[in-house]
Structure 1
Amino acid sequence: MTQQKQERVRGQFTGWHIFAILVVFFGVVVGVNVLMARFALSTFGGVTVENSYVASQHFNRWLDEAAKEKALGWSADVVRREDGRLEITLSGPGDGVVVTAEAWHPLGREADRMVAFDLASAGHFVSREALPAGRWTLRLKVEQGGDMWREEVALQ
């Protein structure tokens, strides 16, 4: 084989080159898709509502309830103590208040927990049990007489 023909063969772009490029390209695309799907499924926290049509039938009632709760003007300050128990300071409601809460882990890695509170002093409540460390969303429910107020608080 002549020198000129050898150089042409060595620098030639063949079908094997395009095959290798396509395999690498689609291998990267499939690999990234598998990785992203794995991340998405591992952090899926569940559904918000089971049936969106049925939930839509209650939407106006939920708006009315939210307006009534806002009109009460109540607020809550939630603090996690060093021992893991929660302290809630309420402003607004008077005597005869019942405070309950549901703690749920935003990523669904921990089971939901009901949290009970005892009255420590006027407007100040302390949870009976400690809440494990980590991120939690606390759904507070405060009832006094016929009034009810709800709030979601993110705990770090």
Structure 2
Amino acid sequence: MPTPAPHSEQQATRPLRERKLTGRMVLLCLIGFFGTIAAVNAFMIRAALSTSGGAEKISSYRAGLNFARDRDAAKAQKRLNWQVDIALPRIAGTQAAEHQGCASERHACAAKGPVEARVTNMNGQPVAGLDATLILIHPTDSRRDQYIAMVDKGDGTYSTEIDTTAGRWSIDLDLDRQGEQMFRSSSRVVLN
């Protein structure tokens, strides 16, 4: 026969202490609840602002004006019939397929090194005397975009150096003469 524990009778006869809900307890619960909510919100806001550049929204009116301007510039560019060849840096010891350029990871375009652009007119003559800007556009974070001025070598060749991170990029080449955009070339590339 089991023997009862000596303290079990004392525990059974001791009354439980009754807790009263006081104004102080309600105040502490409310402060704790809303303090937790505020702390989580502060953390989430900080995380969101530090990881995303945010969407850049322009008005519909301005977007329409930009579209009309870009359409007119594309027509003028087509009339010029210029040819632009951009040579991106290659990784040493590799050879990319010339017809595909740097369109996928298997090609050997480097994220660091010299870039050259050769510009010729419809007759194959070099076009010199332009202000050339190479624009590296990151697809998801506009804070990583880079605007790099290119040096005119005088023979229709423009050069610069890039030093960026590996990944997918859009590359724009803007050619201006006296502040007027003459030509824009856009490509999507993968830099390794």
Contact 2:87–2:115, Cα closer than 8 Å, also in 1: yes
- Match for residue 150 of structure 2 among 88, 112, 117: 117
- Match for residue 77 of structure 2 among 66, 69, 75: 69
Query: Which residue pairs with 1:89 in the alignment?
Result: 118
- Match for residue 166 of structure 2 among 129, 133, 148: 133
Deviation at 1:149, TM superposition (A): 1.0
Contact 1:86–1:126, Cα closer than 8 Å, also in 2: yes
Deviation at 1:51, TM superposition (A): 1.7
Contact 2:152–2:159, Cα closer than 8 Å, also in 1: yes
Whole-angstrom distance in 2 between the partners of 1:98 and 1:67 = 20
Unaligned runs of 5+ in 2: 1-51, 91-111
Q: Which has the higher helix share?
A: 1
Q: How many residues align?
A: 113
Q: CA RMSD in A?
A: 2.8
Larger CA Rg, structure 1 vs 2? 2
Q: Quick one: percent identity of the two aligned structures?
A: 27
- The worse-fitting range, judged by mean Cα deviation, of 90-99 and 66-75 is 90-99
| Cα shift readout 1:37-95 (whole Å, capped 9, x = no counterpart) | xxxxxxx9864752223312443333222101111111212222145332212222523
Contact 1:84–1:131, Cα closer than 8 Å, also in 2: no
Amino acid at match of 1:115: I
Residues 144 and 57 of structure 1, relative CA distance in 2, 3 Å threshold: closer
Deviation at 1:132, TM superposition (A): 3.3
Whole-angstrom distance in 1 between the partners of 2:166 and 2:182 = 29
- Match for residue 52 of structure 1 among 60, 63, 83: 60
Query: Which residue pairs with 2:137 in the alignment?
Result: 104
- The worse-fitting range, judged by mean Cα deviation, of 126-135 and 63-72 is 126-135
SS at match of 1:85: strand
Q: TM-score, normalised by structure 1?
A: 0.58
Whole-angstrom distance in 1 between the partners of 2:66 and 2:120 = 29
Unaligned runs of 5+ in 1: 1-43
Query: Where in structure 1 do 4 or more consecutive aligned residues deviate above 4 Å?
Result: 44-49
SS at match of 1:107: coil
